[in-house]
């Protein structure tokens, strides 16, 4: 089947047709870098990494752009609190973000624009909006977008301007012509970074950054725009308004949004104390377990972060790796061709990136690999799983790299295995069992076979 994608704007699945043959431009709203990335960021990273992988597997030449917001109210506040420069703060957390995504096997975007490096593009778009009557400078040095100048405002979220206006909070802001108008340029304040502009010293509003960077990198009209569901309004709604009013062209063909991450069925938030960074979770679970967990629910559905669900993910990934455990990496280089497994896997991914169904195909294939011990079917299992970023390691490496409560080194574990082998040779089965039980208590499982004893972390 051809690729079908659910378009948030039209609220239906549509057959994907790129603007230019075989070329796909995709822009995803990235992270505001003032702290470590959390599990909600991880979902957006993993989902769109998987989308890009599948598009490339279909043969498309993809240009993947994911921006970094490196100037923002939260960034300024955190830098002042820390007594450090904004560049130092954002640089540190950009490096941390790259470390986190690499750990989860998230491929780097082709282009990763920084807001602070696109001030000229931002200024140019704001100037165009003013010239066309869609924006106005205020007396205080701010510049605002005139929402009512855009007849189509609200089409992404389905919100009506009259309803928005009647529900708007009364703001003490005499410089805005209308409560719905939003800021494009903020006049500088004390202790804040500022850039020169025709409207005075200041910095851009958040929404205009993405419009300027996306059109700069991909053109005025491109294929796919994505992000978390929380961004659909007002951020993405405002992006559409700014971009189309500035360029006069249709902005994006397909809008994709990820569902929320919940924690034990509650919304994740720092105030509730249920907020988890990626690196905190990586101390407890293997990166592929986290990736599997994030893909086990359809990307448009909410995903519930809980210890139980992560343990299920750990068991599931272990089952897939177990099917490959008896093969060497060299035996898995060739993949069986022309099977129904590959057809069903790709059909699932072509159905709006249905990763839960694609994973179900992987488990059926794993059963067949266990049954037949076929190297080419094992190669196919690895190949298909790799298309969604799973089964990237050798099985033996995976099982030995699980986070555990044990602080034993590999050499120390092997020493105990050797001692146990000697005890068994001497028929000291009490000591043999004691070593096995002591290791198991530390999360180290011993596996005996005619070829000897191996171990894995559980």
Rounded to whole angstroms, how far apart are CA atoms 223 and 259? 21
Beta strands in 259-311 (DSSP E): 261-263, 266-267, 303-305
- Please list, in sequence order, all residues whose beta carbon lies within 8 angstroms of the beta carbon of residue 172, skipping any fewer than 6 positions away: none
97 and 133 both lie in a single domain: yes
- Cross-strand bridge partners of residue 20: 23
**Residue 167: predicted pLDDT:** 58
210 annotated to bind ligand: yes
239 annotated to bind ligand: yes
**Residue 270: predicted pLDDT:** 67
Query: How many residues can be counted in the chain?
Result: 458
- Residue 377 belongs to a domain: yes
Measure CA 446 to chain center: 36
Q: Which domain holds residue 362?
A: 319-400
29 annotated to bind ligand: yes
**Number of domains, the chain:** 3
258 annotated to bind ligand: no
The domain boundary residue, chosen from 360, 378, 400: 400
What rounded mean pLDDT belongs to the chain? 94
431 and 449 both lie in a single domain: yes
- Residue 333 belongs to a domain: yes
- Residue 25 belongs to a domain: yes
254 and 387 both lie in a single domain: no
**Residue 271: predicted pLDDT:** 66
425 and 384 both lie in a single domain: no
Q: Any idea what DSSP says for residue 351?
A: B
232 and 329 both lie in a single domain: no
Parts of the chain with a pLDDT under 70 = 166-173, 270-271
The domain boundary residue, chosen from 218, 245, 261: 261
């Amino acid at each position: 089947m051809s690729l079908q994608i659910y378009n948030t704007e039209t609220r239906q699945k549509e057959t994907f047709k790129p603007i230019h043959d075989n070329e796909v431009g995709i822009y995803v709203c990235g992270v505001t870098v003032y702290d470590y990335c959390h599990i909600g960021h991880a979902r957006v990273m993993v989902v769109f990494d998987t989308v890009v992988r599948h598009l490339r597997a279909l043969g498309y030449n993809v240009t993947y752009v994911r921006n970094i917001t490196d100037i923002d109210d939260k960034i300024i506040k955190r830098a002042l609190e820390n007594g450090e420069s904004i560049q130092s703060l954002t640089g540190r957390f950009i490096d941390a973000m790259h470390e986190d995504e690499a750990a989860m096997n998230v491929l780097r975007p082709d282009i990763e624009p920084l807001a602070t490096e696109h001030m000229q593009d931002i200024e140019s778009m704001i100037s165009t909006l003013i010239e066309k009557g869609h924006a106005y400078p205020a007396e205080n040095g701010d510049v605002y977008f005139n929402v009512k100048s855009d007849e189509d405002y609200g089409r992404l979220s389905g919100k009506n301007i009259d309803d928005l206006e009647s529900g708007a909070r009364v703001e003490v802001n005499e410089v805005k012509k209308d409560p719905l108008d939003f800021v494009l340029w903020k006049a500088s304040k004390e202790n804040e970074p500022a850039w020169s502009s025709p409207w005075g010293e200041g910095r851009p509003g958040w929404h205009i950054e993405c419009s300027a960077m996306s059109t700069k990198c991909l053109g005025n009209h491109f294929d796919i725009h994505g992000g978390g569901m929380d961004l659909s309004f007002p951020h993405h709604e405002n992006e559409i308004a700014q971009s189309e009013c500035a360029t006069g062209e249709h902005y994006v063909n397909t809008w994709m949004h990820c569902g929320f991450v919940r924690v034990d069925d509650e919304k994740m938030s720092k105030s509730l104390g249920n907020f988890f960074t990626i690196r905190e979770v990586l101390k407890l679970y293997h990166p592929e377990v986290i990736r599997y967990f994030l893909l086990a629910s359809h990307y448009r559905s909410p995903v519930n972060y809980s210890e139980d669900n992560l343990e299920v993910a750990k068991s599931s990934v272990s089952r897939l790796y177990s099917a490959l455990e008896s093969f060497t990496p060299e035996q898995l280089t060739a993949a069986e061709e022309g099977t129904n497994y590959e057809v069903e896997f790709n059909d699932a991914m072509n159905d709006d990136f249905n990763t839960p169904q694609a994973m179900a195909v992987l488990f059926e294939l794993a059963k067949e690999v266990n049954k037949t011990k076929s190297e080419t079917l094992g190669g196919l299992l690895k190949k298909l799983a790799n298309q969604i970023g799973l089964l990237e390691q050798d099985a033996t490496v995976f099982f030995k790299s699980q986070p555990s409560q044990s602080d034993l080194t590999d050499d120390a574990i092997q020493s105990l295995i050797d001692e146990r082998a000697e005890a068994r040779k001497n028929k000291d089965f009490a000591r043999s069992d004691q070593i096995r039980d002591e290791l198991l208590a530390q999360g180290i499982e011993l596996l005996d076979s005619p070829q000897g004893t191996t171990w894995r972390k559980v």
